[in-house]
Amino acid sequence: MPSPSTSFKSLRARLGALLFVLLPLPGVATPVNELPTEPVYLWAEKPLVKPDREHIKDQRVYAVDNPSITPFWPQQPNGAAVVIFPGGGYVRLAIDHEGYDIARWFAQRGVAAFVAKYRMQEYGFPAPLLDGLRAVRLVRKNAVAWGIDPGKIGVVGFSAGGHLAASVTTRFGFGQQNDPLADISARPDFAVLGYPVIDLEGPDAHAGSRKALLGEKPDARLLHDNSLQFQVTDKVPPVFMLHGVGDQAVKVTNSLAFFTEVQKYNQQSELHIYQTGIHGVGMIQGQGSVSRWPQALEAWLHERGLIAP
């Protein structure tokens, strides 16, 4: 006999699917399947890694062996979606304030949100990037069934998760010959980067992320390729960025370098520099002007036609 919680989740999924049927979205195909309510494993064609070393310590997730996306479904969906990459230096994931809290904010505004658990230092490059690309492809693959517009799928990332989101934004063709879903585009339609790690080879590189991702002594080419200001092309989508001018963990020069390249090709983009030294602010309130970055993001998303006013 199913437990009450299992029955409730099943009922919620059925009600969510029914809501989509009753309220079809303009330009978005009506889904035909129930919406998943549990984490979705990214690499379904591969067996799960056992034993699974993933664990939680101090509200951070460590040692992801089986990468996944956890869905947050809006009550009034508008067809847009985001894949969210929490930060943590490629060592851990700040899953709550840079993951679940962000997902709830998007869902409240009609955007389906998927919080990614991606592989980190235990695997090194390119595992995180492959997970990020697969996450976008998986959402786009299921767009019709999940009531999502395949042309309104974005990525969101913070700190090292911002490095991963920026990598997906600029390197969406990487390694696709090894992905069974390679025919599905991994290019996001927009990106949101919060105090991101961008540069891994210069004096303002984040040493912890560099070591965790690339190892103790990465070669010069690997460092250059993962310094994402050098990966921006005319295919870059609109990007919203925020950073604290006094951030000592990840220097603001990371965002400045990336945005300098982005604005050459996409002038629908914005960079917000705040008078703060806080790193990892998430959506914490009461921290001065930086706590108002979600309002700036909301206005930008509205101008892009991704949320209602």
Question: 116: domain CATH number?
Answer: 3.40.50.1820
Residue 228 counted as domain residue = yes
Residue 31 counted as domain residue = no
Residue 12 counted as domain residue = no
Structural domain containing residue 98: 39-303
pLDDT of residue 21: 35
Residue 269 counted as domain residue = yes
Total domains present in the chain: 1
Question: How are beta strands 112-117 and 239-244 bridged, if at all?
Answer: unpaired
Q: For 159-172, what is each residue's pLDDT tens digit?
A: 999 999 999 999 99
Residue 281 counted as domain residue = yes
Distance CA 155, CA 100 (A): 14
pLDDT of residue 33: 59
Distance CA 48, CA 64 (A): 11
Distance CA 244, CA 252 (A): 6
Residue 201 counted as domain residue = yes
Nearest CA among 265, 259, 260 for reference residue 240: 259
Structure tokens at 72: 């947050």
pLDDT of residue 1: 40
pLDDT of residue 284: 75
pTM confidence score: 0.89
Q: Which residues of the chain have pLDDT under 50?
A: 1-32
Structure tokens at 127: 């595992």
Mean pLDDT of the chain: 90
Distance CA 309, CA 189 (A): 20
Residue 131 counted as domain residue = yes
Residues 6+ apart with CB under 8 A from 203: none
Q: For 130-170, what is each residue's pLDDT tens digit?
A: 999 999 999 999 999 999 999 999 999 999 999 999 999 99
- In angstroms, how far is the first alpha carbon of the chain from the final one? 45
Residue 11 counted as domain residue = no
Nearest CA among 184, 209, 201 for reference residue 279: 209
pLDDT of residue 15: 36
